[in-house]
Amino acid sequence: DTGVSQDPRHKITKRGQNVTFRCDPISEHNRLYWYRQTLGQGPEFLTYFQNEAQLEKSRLLSNRFSAERPKGSFSTLEIQRTEQGDSAMYLCASSFLQGSYEQYFGPGTRLTVT
Amino acid sequence: KQEVTQIPAALSVPEGENLVLNCSFTDSAIYNLQWFRQDPGKGLTSLLLIQSSQREQTSGRLNASLDKSSGRSTLYIAASQPGDSATYLCAVTPPGAGSYQLTFGKGTKLSVIP
């Protein structure tokens, strides 16, 4: 399978705990995006990487959130001191650096904070 | 700020019927528009991408049109099948050099009744 993969698919955590999600993009893709989707809403942009550089962050990305993409391959999204409002689906997408910039999405990580 | 609206929020049709899903956006300055399908609890599957210079794209029973000047796109599904039941999301990207982040609508939940 050469699509975008995410791990874990589901995560249940208690409020105040830290969690980390992983995304493996399509191997030839230089750009990697993180989005968050709550129930009944469309996904909202969080941040994006071009190769290993994090070039843009949304105001939704509070200082409890941090994302990395070491060596320009996989990416991790960490949430510290989780809150119930962090419960959502976290989606990763990737695209080529040029052309149509069509984004391909992974299956998502469903986070539930109790 | 770009806003994307999808009407209706939900649609139920009998199997075999042709149908149209609507998407409107407030800022006509877009780079491209993508239509996605999302099954419950799953990630997004890209259906069609229309670049700003194009008027329509077709894939199988799906046809998407774009009228950038009026800020509208439609997704036409021919001969609907129960397997088409899902939430359909449209999203636009801004022009120029940047993140090409997607701005999504809330989606239209389609149910095709056998």
B59 touching A (Cβ < 8 Å): no
SS3 readout for chain A: CCCCEEECCEEEECCCCCEEEEEECCCCCCEEEEEEECCCCCCEEEEEEECCEEEEECCCCCCCEEEECHHHCCEEEEECCCCHHHCEEEEEEEECCCCCCCCEECCCEEEEEC
Question: What percent of chain A is modeled with pLDDT above 70?
Answer: 99
What mean pLDDT is predicted for residues A4-22? Answer: 97
pLDDT digits (tens, 9 = 90+) for A94-109: 998 777 778 999 999 9
Between A33, A91, A104, which is nearest B101 by CB?
A33
SS3 readout for B4-33: EEEECCEEEEECCCCEEEEEEECCCCCCEE
Residues of B in contact with A103 (CB under 8 A): 34, 46, 100, 102
B93 touching A (Cβ < 8 Å): yes
